[in-house]
Structures are given as structure tokens and as C-alpha cells.
Structure 1
Amino acid sequence: MNSDSEIVLRSLSEPAVFGALYERYADLVYRYTTSRVGQTFADDVTSETFLVAFQRRRAFDPERGQVSAWLMGIATTLMKKHAREEARTIRSAAAELAAASVPTDVFEQLGTRLDAAALVGRIADALARLPAKYRDVLLLHAWADLDYPGIAQALDIPVGTVASRLNRARTTLRAVAEAGSPRDAEVEHGRVDARAQHAQ
């Protein structure tokens, strides 16, 4: 079986072989996009992801990382036009989670058990309100299961930036869990930033 990079390279002269990547990764991309924008838009985003990848396959650089991370980066960019739907999907998922009283994987990373329905709702609201650059890093890590280098490749940012954004996202969500509301967390986070700047 050819490697992903070999398939991309072969597809430059044999376009039909690119379909093998769809067979390998369509389910993965679909699950990730469904988690973020819901089933209504997931089919379109998934299809468009592979169309864009095919059109840009000549620009893929195997030295920079994996095809899977490249595809997730394309999908993440495409989902930006569905920001409102993403916020609704996150809040809807939180409502279902609260009803079931089951913690979700994305919050396991925080080391916080989310048993209370009110807390789940607050966390979901904060997640939906996170600036996209922080939310993208967090969800690529938690829902797409990408490591730091994979996220860096997907978003075309340095690994150090991935680490700092992921830390910022986690800190904000922890603050919500402790402070009680997204607004309180924003105020508290501002204090933390101010103290950090003062210390420098």
C-alpha cells in the first residue's frame, strides 16, 4: 500500500489515485467537522475539503508533515464560514451532555470532571466564545487527535504558538469552571495577563 505522500505525488500524473486519500480519511474529516458544525454542514465541508486538497495537491510538502494534518487544516479553514452553526452545535452538544450527565472528551484535557449541567453549559458557552485561533487549536487537539506538530502543520503556525494557544484555551475554560461564567473568566483572565505583564 502506498504511503499518503506517495499517493499525493502519483496523483500529479495520475489524478484518479487521489481517491485513495478520500477512502482513508473521509470518515475522519467527517467526524471532526460534524463535531464542530453539525451534520447539516459536515457533508459539504468534507467534500469541499477533498476538492480543495486535490486542487492544491501540488503545493503539499511531505517534509512539513502528514496528509491527515493537512486535510484537517483545510477543513478548519473551510468551517470558518459556519461560525454561527459551530456555536449552536457546541451548545447543543453541551445540552445533550448535561442531560446524560456524561463528561465529554474535549474537557478531559482540562482535568475537570463536568458532572453538573450548569457547569457544562458554562463551559460550552465559553468554548463557543473563544477566539477562533484558540478554539481551533483546542479542538484539533481534542477532537481531531492531532499532536502539537500536526496542529502546527494544519494551521501553519509554529509549534510554540500551538503550545501557548492551547494553554490559553485551557486556562480560559478552567477559569470558567472556577469563576462561574464566561464573563467572570474573561475578567479573571485579564487580571492574570496584567499580572504577568507587570512581572515582566
Structure 2
Amino acid sequence: MTMPARSGVDAEELDDASIVERSWSDVDAFAVIFDRHAVTVHRFLARRVGGELADDLTGQTMLVAFDQRRRFDLTQRSALPWLYGIATNLLRRHRRTEVRQHRALARAAPDTVQEGHDELVSNRVTAATRPLRKALAGLSAAERDIVLLIAWEGLSYDEVALALGIPIGTVRSRMHRARRKLREALPEEDH
């Protein structure tokens, strides 16, 4: 999408902060933020929850971002850390809801449940990644979010702090603890 700016400059030449600010008066301008970052946000979510749910959460992320665009810190050139923060919060909310639903289902479900074909295939495919998944599961949610934003998405500590709304010192200390826990949990050849 090419959107002329007030100065006659195309949207491709504007940073995200300028686009978000422009979207305050021209709601169509926010489509540039979607075009620039939706695929990246989707990839981040898909790595954590799979493609289908990532589709939903990406849409929700963009909707929340649009609704809260006046809260975006215009001193930040990129909206991506902000979008990661929104996506992470939505993912946490989804997981809390999923846990509650699973507990309710477990109380109501019969004791013997047979796995379907999809579950069997999924279990076999993920067997190779089990040690890493187990190690990541051993981290607190806060530590895991930081590790995945840094390792998978390549965010800097500053960007993670911005995305999660926490001080950079907290990012550093959580990352340090997470690395220590991962070293202890993973077999020597995996790290």
C-alpha cells in the first residue's frame, strides 16, 4: 500500500511511529502497520501455538493494536516490540482460559480417552524436540517469554523490555536465570 504522507513522502519511507500517529486521523493508515508486521507476529505466535490459533491471535493482536494506537509510544520508531507485547499478553490470556477449560473438561470427561490419529502423529513428530520443550516448560512464563522473544524473534533486551513493559534490568536478570535453568535441564550435547 502506498500512502502519501503530509510531506508527499510514501509510507515506505515513514517509520512506524509516523504511521501510527497518522492513523489517529486517517484510520486507513494503520493498514501499513498490518502489512509491515502481521507476518512476523504470526510467525512468532505460530511457533508457540501452531498455525490455526496463530491466525486468530494475530488478528486479535492487530485489532487490539488498532484500538490502542493512541497509547503507542511515538518515541519508538518500530511498532514491532509493541505488537510482540500485545501478542504475548493475548497468548497468556488464551493459555489461562485453555487451562481452565481443560480442568473443567477433565472433571467431566470419562477416565479413559483414546488418542486420535492426529494426536498420535503429533506425539511422534514432536518426540525429537521433547528435551527442549521440557526445558522451556521448566521456565516461568515470564522467563519463557523473554527467551523466545530474544531467541526466536531476535529482539534486543531493550526491545523485549519495551514489548513486555518491564525494566531492562528485569529482562537481563530473567534471561540470566532462564539460561542457567536451560543449561541445567538440557543434555550437554544440546547446548
Q: 1:155 aligned to 142, 145, 164, which one? A: 164
What CA distance in whole angstroms lies between the structure 2 residues aligned with 1:178 and 1:2? 47
Q: Which has the higher helix share?
A: 1
Whether the 8 Å contact between 2:57 and 2:87 is mirrored in structure 1 is yes
Q: 2:173 aligned to 164, 167, 174, which one? A: 164
Identity, in percent, stands at 44
Whether the 8 Å contact between 2:16 and 2:77 is mirrored in structure 1 is no
Aligned to 1:121: 130
Q: 1:82 aligned to 72, 78, 94, which one? A: 94
SS at match of 2:153: coil
SS at match of 1:41: helix
Unmatched tracts of structure 1, length 5 or more: 86-91, 99-119, 180-200
Query: Is the alpha carbon distance of 1:17 and 1:46 closer, same or farther for their aligned partners in structure 2, counting shifts above 3 Å?
Result: same
What is the RMSD computed on CA atoms of the aligned residues?
2.3
Aligned to 2:102: none
Q: TM-score, normalised by structure 2?
A: 0.73
Aligned to 1:131: 140
Read off the aligned partner of 1:76 and give its amino acid letter: T
Q: Give the drift of 1:2.
A: 1.7
Aligned to 1:57: 69
User: Which structure has the larger Rg?
Assistant: 2
Aligned to 1:3: 15
Count of residue pairs brought into register by the alignment? 153
SS at match of 1:63: coil
Note the alpha carbon deviations across 1:96-128, whole angstroms, 9 max, x for none: 472xxxxxxxxxxxxxxxxxxxxx423311212
Note the alpha carbon deviations across 1:48-74, whole angstroms, 9 max, x for none: 101000110101112256311000000
Q: 2:152 aligned to 143, 147, 161, which one? A: 143
Note the alpha carbon deviations across 1:128-180, whole angstroms, 9 max, x for none: 2321110000001011211000000000111111011011111101001259x
What CA distance in whole angstroms lies between the structure 2 residues aligned with 1:31 and 1:97? 22
